[in-house]
Structure 1
């Protein structure tokens, strides 16, 4: 693990935790990042989203609409979370509906104007899928399908859930990058780079020696969090202040 992790020279990286349908918080945090750029100009800035844009909150459609339009103060690098993975499975395979529902997919369906109860009565999961596909913009699907599992900048490695210890970062399994928890969270050693992630909610950011957890349970707490990485500096912005 680098003793002093740094971002690439001349670059600022913002990374944002799990949004889960809170388009209102995304808008608020975008304004904070815009203000941060105005007060601390940086010609080369990018924003990494660590995934979980959908489910649980009330406006998944609004989140995907903004991100699919690349409507943000900086260029964006959107990663895939386990909730996007579950949603994409349902788009291709109607029997995957129960798993997606377990993750909060009913709220996403509602945000697109789909009544899953009514559609289930009409024709089960295939009817729900058909109704959703009829209302789901192609641009939203392309956005989800083009999300990456990870990205690296300088001494930082970004993914949704975490990495498997003792496996090189360039050989990580996509399933681990989207789903892993305890083997990763409990490891205190060197991952090769500082891992910036979400997936496991906490009441506040975990800023540790080997990882940074940005999931502050936004859909429930109202606090969506970003880290700004520049040089050797870590700064945090959130919607609570």
Structure 2
């Protein structure tokens, strides 16, 4: 009887349509790079080869943030991303929590000194700054001033102009995730860059299928409501990219 009543209810048994992109469009979305310029170069070559072998009318290349820190060559990564992408790809770069922390350190070094302890020291070394003194507020201020001097203006401009998110079709591209149940227009920019458990643990269907980095997994984490593609490149040597087209997805990586 209950099954019969369920069949009579409006919308009963109707499956949620899968997320999709507009016809003729493809998106390549790349996870956290963290200073691994070698992996970035390798993955860009593979993406470009894929785009040339299987052309689409419109192809987007989206980087999901965390370009710097931890790995050995943050400066080269930023330099690469400031250059035009291989034609015919359309490039978008989003802000991760590590870029946000670097900018915070430049403006208020004592308040954001924690950045140096979770990867920032590697970034300073890539800009020729070291050894460093973290002992006092004056030392942090002097260190921020040195970074101001060593950071090329086009790197500074690139970092300040990063977007927090991008919507294409039924997909939302963002660094960390979203606060479940909160409309996109009301999301905190800090949540978009830093959220953890409330988003990762949620099985709730969001208004968009969320494509994100920030949360390291050994394999791309593909779920009905989200796709996580941070495979810990700085330590694992695996930089991953999800390729979206229509209702389909596939993975390209540096293995």
Give the TM-score normalised by structure 2.
0.90
Alignment partner, residue 32 of structure 2:
18
**What is the RMSD computed on CA atoms of the aligned residues?**
1.6
Q: Post-superposition shift, 1:189?
A: 1.2
Q: Post-superposition shift, 1:41?
A: 1.1
- Give me the whole-angstrom Cα distance separating, in 1, the residues matched to 2:67 and 2:16: 31
- What is the aligned counterpart of 1:163 among 148, 166, 178? 178
| Greater CA drift, 169-178 or 50-59 | 169-178
Q: Post-superposition shift, 1:217?
A: 0.2
Q: 5 Å matches for 1:1-241?
A: 2-73=16-87, 74-117=89-132, 124-240=139-255
Instruction: Tell me if the contact between 1:51 and 1:160 (Cα under 8 Å) persists in the aligned partners.
Output: yes
The CA deviation string for residues 124-168 of structure 1, in whole angstroms up to 9 with x for no partner, is 011111111111001111111111111000000010100011111
**Distance change >3 Å, CA 165–CA 97, structure 1 → 2:** closer
Ranges of 4+ aligned residues in structure 1 off by more than 3 Å? 118-121
Structure with the greater relative contact order (CA < 8 A, sep ≥ 6): 1 or 2? 1
**Distance change >3 Å, CA 120–CA 72, structure 1 → 2:** farther
The CA deviation string for residues 193-223 of structure 1, in whole angstroms up to 9 with x for no partner, is 1000010101110011000001000000000
Count of aligned pairs between the two proteins = 239
Larger radius of gyration: 2
| Greater CA drift, 35-44 or 141-150 | 35-44
* Gapped regions of structure 2 (runs ≥ 5): 1-14
